[in-house]
Every structure is written in C-alpha cells, then in structure tokens.
Structure 1
Amino acid sequence: MIRWSTLFDPAQAVVPPSPPERDLLPRDGAGERWLGGVIAVLCFVACLAGLGALSAERAAGGWARELRGEATAQVRPGVGETGDAAAARAAETLAVVPGVEEAAAMDRATAERLLRPWMGEAALEDLPLPHLVTVRLDPDAPASALVLSRALAEGGIDATVDDHSLWRGEVERSAGTVTLLALAAFLAVAGATGAAIVHAVRAGVEARRAVIETLSLSGATDGAVAWLFQRRFALLALAGGAVGTGLALALAGMVRFLGGGEGLSPALPLAWGDLLILSPTPLVAATVALVSARLAAGRALDRLGASASAG
C-alpha cells in the first residue's frame, strides 16, 4: 500500500532510475564530439560533391541541347545581288522548312560584336565578313543539314549549312567526361564518408570492450548489448549528418538565391529540387553507423564467447 507521506518526504521518496544507456555507456565527451564533428564535415563535403555532380550533368546536357537546336547557313550572293539581300532571301526560305522554328539573317553589327573579343576593333573595319543566317531548330523534330541544304538549293540560293554536328560531338564527349568525373568525385567522397564512419564506430565499440564483457557476464543478451551501441552511434551519426547536411543546404540555398537559376555561374546551374535530393543524407549516415555498430559489437561478443569457451 502506497503511503502518501513518501510522495512529499524527500528522504523516503523513491528516485526513478536513470536510463540504462547513460550508465552503461558513459559518454566520452572529447571522443564523441570529435566523431560527430568529423561526420558533419564529411557529410557537408559529400553534399557539396553531390550538388556539383548534379550541376555538371545539367550543364553538360544544356550544352549539347543548345548545339542540337541550332544551325548556321553561310550565304554567297549571286551576280547583281548584295550579301544582305541574299541572306534575307535565305532566311525567308529556311523559315518555312519543317523542323525550323525561326531563321534570321545576321547583320554586320551582330557579326562584328561576336568577332570583336577575338580580333579586336581595328581589324574589323575593313574585314570582309561572311553573310550568315542563324537557324533555330525544333527541339522535338529538328531539320537536318541535308534538308536545309536542299531547301536552299531549290530556292536558287548558294549556301553552305553547318548543323554543328562536328562541334556537337566534341561537346557531348566533353560533357560526358565532365559528368563522369563529377560522379566519380561524389562517389569517392561518399565512400570516404562511409569508411570514416565505419572505422570510428568500430574504434568506439572496441574502446568499450570492458563494458561489453561486464554486460555479457551479467546476463545481458547479445541483442540487448548490440542495441546499446547501435542506438548510441546511430544517434551520433544522425546528429552529425544533420549538421553537415544543414550547412550544405544553407550554402546551396544562398548560392541559388543570389545567382538565380544559374547559381553563381552558368557553367554550374542549380535548381531548388537539387536541395531535396540531399535531405536523406543524415539517415544514410545513421544507417551506416547502425550497421557498423551492430557488426562491431557482434564481433566483440563472438570473441568474448570464444575466449570463454577456450577457458
């Protein structure tokens, strides 16, 4: 029968026991703080590497897509015809070709503006420039260079069509290389992060071998002992991964906000959806630590059982 006086008498009150993990696995303040910091830094770097891989893949696809959607025709004027008139006539002819969205003759001012960074101001004054027609192709069903050349020939226009196929092949190969390198860098960082977590968890479990022996000799089951370590290191990795991922998301969000859809550079575009892809990073780190703690504790228990049997 409960005596109500004990509820108000501090000398007789029963103090509830503290959580067993806090007593059985005392926190190593310095070691665990450093481990959490390492996990946070590695997750931060892994997230940045992942964002870099996504941006590189998107930029590479954009380069190839722009080249596939454009073509250029160099027009040579006929007898008694000016170059501007020939280019205008070629633009009208190409604009109605199926697979072409728009065709426009390039004037001399535009051509000079494109060449000025390469040739300088003085060299352009007396330089004869080709008469060009820029063609924007339908991205779903683009017209080929053969179709464009045939349309110009039927219209009585002497011109050469360049669909950028040579440059497109080089750019697509370069884009594929950039994507593979970015993916390899991300996988290397992610693998290093996982290996560091595994090594740190194993070291932490080995450092508490005396605790494992005491619990096992006291009658605790192997599953209960392993769960103590699993829970401790999984929560530690979850906290460290959340800090590192949060910092990476904050940095990426700032870059996206300041630079718009192109990030800080058009070469590495960044989308808001990319940030959501990184959100599972803390759970992945916690899972790696959970499995590592389970295996390390199991090995320690197996060695303890083998030594007990040998004795």
Structure 2
Amino acid sequence: MSEAFDPQRWRPAPFLPQEDARDPALLFVVAVLSFLACLTALGVIASSRAAQGWTDQLTAEATVIVRARGGETPDAAAARAAEVLAGVPGVSEARALEKEKAYALIEPWIGDVADLDDLPVPRLVAVGLDARKPATAAALGRALKAQELDAVVDDHSVWIEDIRGAAEVVRWIASAILLLIAGAAAAVVAFATRAGIAARKDVVEVLHLTGAEDGQISNLFELRFAGIAAVAGAAGALAAGLLGGALRLVGGGEGITPALPIAWVDLLVVLPCPVLAALVAAVAARITARRLIQRL
C-alpha cells in the first residue's frame, strides 16, 4: 500500500539550490581575485607613501657644488659658500661637507681617489631649506654669485620630477590591474550564470508561461551570485589583511622595506572588497541572465 501524501512534509525544491557543486570553485576563484586586488591596492598606497616621503626629503634640501678660484683652497671656498648661504632667507642650515664625502661621490666614476689631494676637487655644501617658505635655487645662485663664488646649485628638481612620474606610472598600472581583475571576476560570474540558466532552461520557460517577468527571474541569479561573491570577497580581503599585517610586523616601522612602507591604517583599504565584489558579481549576473532569458 503506497504511503499517503503528506502536504506538511512536502516542500518544493528551490529554483537555485543552496548547495551547488559549482559554488566551491566559484568561491575560490573570486576569493583569489579579491586577494590579488587587495594586495595591489596595498602596494599602490605603500609606493605612494614612499614617493611622497622621498619627495618631501628632497624638497627640504639642496646641494651646492663649489669650485675653488684663484689661490683659494677648495675647503676654504666651501666654508665661505656655507657662510653665505646660511644668511639667505629660506635657508635653515648650510654645512660644508668633508672632502672625504666628495671623494666618495666621484670614486665610482674614476676609481682610486688616493691621488686626488693635489687636484682641485669640488666640495659640497648641504643646504637645509625652510619647510614653510624654502629658498629657491635662483636665490641661492644669486647669493653665491654676489660673493664671486664658482658654484652650482642642485635643488633636486630633476629627481623630484622622476619620482613623481614613477609614482604616477605605478598608479596607472595598478588601476589597469584592478580593472583586469574586476573584468576576470565578472567573466567568471557570467560563465556561472550561463551554466545555471542552461541547467534550468525548462524551469525558466515554465516560469515565463506562468507570467514571471525577465527581471524577476534574473534577480534570483543576481542575488545568488552577489552573495557568493560577497563571501569570497570577504575571504580574500581577510587573507590580504593578514598578509599585510604580517609584513608590517616583520618590517617594523618601515613596513616591508623603506621602499614599500605599510602603515596599520593602510589595511583598511581591504574593507570595501566584499561590497565591490558583490557589486561586480551582481552586475555581471544581471546582464548575463537578462540577455540569455530574453533568448529563451
């Protein structure tokens, strides 16, 4: 005798099952992409901070190359130049460097510097500039020329422009990488949406016949994959945050290295990752689902 039908025990199967065999693979791929996106963002922030630190340091200093004239010794000329520069408005400090430091700068180019004592090797003067109103290279040059000193002022403007240009290139490259990662995540979600609709083609047609609109059906896919992407994005962000924190601890106050200083506040950049991952997945699923459903 067949068992009697019990309406209390019968439940209809959901249109999109909560446990799908494809979900673990999709979770893994989106989590990895989120992890890479967060690391890219951390790298951009660290490189920007490093570039700003180098720029600030170079902006606060200038170097003057002094050559001796007539019977004046190089050391005497450097000392006189330092005295002149110390009185220029916008200069906080001017100090003549020892000849050993001048020799160390040219040694990589000419080799042994033991026989240079008899040659008029230029001396260097390190100039500290006022942070609020620094003296310009032109003002320093005029002060030196007024005292008939043969000197060249290097305000590091070339280096500063190079650093800023390099930082800008890094930002553009990172932006392109983030766009590629977002595109890859959207493509993965679109593929999963296509597979889900293909597997439930008959059900979609029945829903159409019963009056369901395209937007209602596509919303099911949109919400499902947005939720999966949010969970995967949170996992990837957590992994990136833990790695960034570990690098911060290992590197001490300078982060990984002086070239990539990571601060604790930088780790906050991973927080929007789950929301952004869910948004990308929702948009990709919605566009793909609507397009495919309209063809059925």
Q: Displacement, 1:238?
A: 0.7
Q: Displacement, 1:107?
A: 1.1
Match of 1:75 in 2: 66
How far apart, CA to CA, are the structure 1 residues paired with 2:51 and 2:167?
5
Is there any run of 5+ residues in structure 2 with no aligned partner, and where? Answer: 1-5
How far apart, CA to CA, are the structure 2 residues paired with 1:291 and 1:17?
35
Match of 1:148 among 131, 140, 148: 140
Q: Displacement, 1:106?
A: 0.8
How far apart, CA to CA, are the structure 1 residues paired with 2:95 and 2:197?
71
How far apart, CA to CA, are the structure 1 residues paired with 2:64 and 2:261?
30
Q: Displacement, 1:32?
A: 1.0
**2:226 and 2:278 in contact (8 A); partners too:** yes
CA, structure 1 residues 93+292, in 2 after alignment: closer, same or farther (shift >3 Å)? same
For the pair 1:126 / 2:115, whether they are aligned, the reply is yes
Q: Displacement, 1:239?
A: 0.8
For the pair 1:288 / 2:280, whether they are aligned, the reply is yes
How far apart, CA to CA, are the structure 2 residues paired with 1:275 and 1:38?
22
For the pair 1:298 / 2:290, whether they are aligned, the reply is yes
Q: Displacement, 1:268?
A: 2.3
How far apart, CA to CA, are the structure 2 residues paired with 1:17 and 1:140?
78
CA, structure 1 residues 298+169, in 2 after alignment: closer, same or farther (shift >3 Å)? closer
Q: After superposition, where does 1:221-240 map in structure 2 within 5 Å?
A: 222=214, 224-240=216-232
Q: Displacement, 1:55?
A: 2.8
Match of 2:46 in 1: 55
Match of 1:37 in 2: 28
CA, structure 1 residues 190+231, in 2 after alignment: closer, same or farther (shift >3 Å)? closer
How far apart, CA to CA, are the structure 1 residues paired with 2:53 and 2:196?
47
Supply the RMSD in Å over aligned alpha carbons: 3.1
Q: Displacement, 1:296?
A: 3.5
What CA deviation, in whole Å up to 9, does each residue of 1:287-307 have, x standing for no partner? 222233333443444344xxx
Q: Tell me whether 46-55 or 60-69 shows the greater mean CA deviation.
A: 60-69
Output the TM-score relative to the length of structure 1: 0.78
Identity %: 47
How far apart, CA to CA, are the structure 2 residues paired with 1:35 and 1:184?
23
Match of 1:183 among 170, 175, 200: 175
What CA deviation, in whole Å up to 9, does each residue of 1:53-98 have, x standing for no partner? 3333333344444333321112234555443333223222212322
Structure 2 counterpart of 1:178, which letter? Answer: V
How many correspondences in the alignment? 288
Match of 2:262 in 1: 270
For the pair 1:88 / 2:85, whether they are aligned, the reply is no
Q: Displacement, 1:261?
A: 4.5
CA, structure 1 residues 184+228, in 2 after alignment: closer, same or farther (shift >3 Å)? closer
Match of 1:192 in 2: 184
How far apart, CA to CA, are the structure 2 residues paired with 1:91 and 1:230?
70
What CA deviation, in whole Å up to 9, does each residue of 1:199-246 have, x standing for no partner? 333333333323333444456565553333222211111111111111
What CA deviation, in whole Å up to 9, does each residue of 1:143-171 have, x standing for no partner? 22220012223345332222233444444
Match of 1:102 in 2: 93
Is there any run of 5+ residues in structure 1 with no aligned partner, and where? Answer: 1-12, 305-311
CA, structure 1 residues 298+68, in 2 after alignment: closer, same or farther (shift >3 Å)? same
1:264 is paired with a residue whose SS is coil
